[in-house]
Amino acid sequence: MKTVLRSWLFLAFLTLSMTRLQAQCEVSNIYVQNVSLIGPQPPDSCIAEFDLSFTIENNNGNKYIFIHTWLLTDYPNYFNCVNGQPTGNGSIRAPKSADLVNSFLNIGINNDGDSVYLLNTYTPDPGVPMATADSITREIQPDGSAIFILYGVRVSVPVPCGTPTVLATDLWSSQSARAQNAHCVNCSILNSVGFLSLAGLVNCASLTFNATITNNSSATLNGYYRVYADVNADGYFTPAVDTLIQDTTDFTVAAGAGMTTSISGTVPSANINQDLFILLTQTSGQASGASRVILIPSTQCSVLPVSFKSFSAQRTNRSNVMLRWETASEINNSGFALQRNIGANNWQLVNFIHSKAVAGNSDAPLIYSYNDLNPHNGISQYRIMQVDLDGRARFSDIRAVRGFGQSNAVIVYPNPSSDGRVNIVFEDEGIRDLTLTDVSGRAIRQWKSVSGNTFQAINLQPGFYTLLIRNTQTGIVQTEKIVISNN
């Protein structure tokens, strides 16, 4: 379900950014996207289908995960919530049917093991009705968290469609065998529906976006917005993946249904042809603090007409790096700007290679190569900016090569690191599983199915670590020592 319906309902996203002392309790970024209304609609409720995603620490303590949502006016505050946290200490008895009266959305997830699946029965109390969904996925992130996406969730909200409404949600998890106790709780998560709507477009020719925010209520609404680019073109907002291109910007919409305000901004050339996500957060009225995410499309930009089959960079001697790439087809292609970065994220133009295709068009594979004079002793990164005849462009993946004297199969830099970030360059491309352990041998981070020949680990705490690198194709395991300093 990829179409984003610009109606009032659930284009809001539930958002929560908090960190607990217990690692398994770190939960953030609860989003509802890709909404469609299901007719016929009853007069006193609104039936919708949507996709739900959230991020939680990838930890064995979260065997079961549960989500409950009420109208704010019906919220029972079972966990005695203060600032998003329960006031009770230790584990809390899981809410039962009597505690979940008027909860119109109940979701359960079994997260115990290598596979993840939705629960048809509420484990603490089979009398609680559960929402249905088509499927669920779990994706492990480089920072050690996991993004869950539930596809095709169906719900009936007990208000007519179009009514400005505030909702309250509890999200909790349990590590007990039958989920009889809540061990990690995030509660009273507020979100709004129906107060604001937004529509807009991205103009890739001028590298700008323009959108209109509409007030659907009778009160003046204040807030701020942030803009992200959908860099992996999956239609889902994931802040760990998508790129922030415009930071916090205030807005005000005058009181009265139908009143509007316009927003606009620039789009970096690296994000040409990418849709944008607008994050709106209200700071006034009964929905203050609630946020929503809306996708605006790049409908004025066609997909760039070159398909890369491969791209490699290999040092051949002390002073030379050979770049090779192959295209499967080319349409309206001007050529390729080769770029090199040898530090501080300073990308420099190496050369521009014109397309071999006649008039920029070819339906047959074409092979290119270029020898770069590069005596740099450290790590060099390369990328290709493909440019079509109309001036539009996109970037290839990044490839890294070593200096002539760097003979290790794996390079980790900087090492020691002073900011909790390290870059890892593998000997060649492939699929690898990575495990980071502390001095006691305890695994603190895991990254599955890492592809390509470069990887960046972030948010590492000061300490001494061992990185285990397992090639999933050959089974070979390598180890590297990593040091994160305090300054």
pLDDT digits (tens, 9 = 90+) for 337-354: 999 988 666 788 999 999
pTM above 0.75, yes or no: no
% of residues, the chain, pLDDT over 70 = 90
User: Stretch 265-282: mean pLDDT, rounded?
Assistant: 86
Is the model's pLDDT at 258 over the cut of 60? yes
pLDDT in tens, 148-199: 888 889 899 999 888 888 889 999 999 888 899 998 898 988 877 788 888 8
* 41, burial (CB in 10 Å: exposed 0-12, middle 13-18, buried 19+): middle
User: Stretch 207-217: mean pLDDT, rounded?
Assistant: 88
pLDDT for res 300:
53
pLDDT in tens, 5-36: 333 333 333 333 333 334 456 677 777 777 77
User: Stretch 268-290: mean pLDDT, rounded?
Assistant: 84
Asked if 261 contacts 212 with a C-beta cutoff of 8 angstroms, the reply is: yes
pLDDT for res 344:
61
User: Stretch 289-315: mean pLDDT, rounded?
Assistant: 77
Three-state SS string over 379-415 comes to CEEEEEEEEECCCCEEECCCEEECCCCCCCCCEEECC
pLDDT for res 20:
34
Mapped onto helix, strand or coil, the DSSP state of residue 72 is helix
More confident call, 407 vs 139: 139
**Low-confidence winner among 119-123, 152-156, 233-237, 310-314 (lowest mean pLDDT):** 233-237
CA within 13 Å, CB half, 377: 1
Top mean-pLDDT range of 100-104, 256-260, 291-295: 100-104
Amino acid at position 70, single letter: W
Asked if 32 contacts 213 with a C-beta cutoff of 8 angstroms, the reply is: no
Residues forming a β-bridge with 177: none
Cis amide linkage into residue 416, ω under 30° from 0: yes
More confident call, 452 vs 389: 389
pLDDT in tens, 75-105: 999 999 988 889 877 789 999 999 999 999 9
DSSP label of 74: G
* 317, burial (CB in 10 Å: exposed 0-12, middle 13-18, buried 19+): exposed
Q: What is the DSSP string of 14-53?
A: ---EE--SSGGG-EEEEEEEEEEE-SSPPTT-EEEEEEEE
pLDDT for res 299:
64
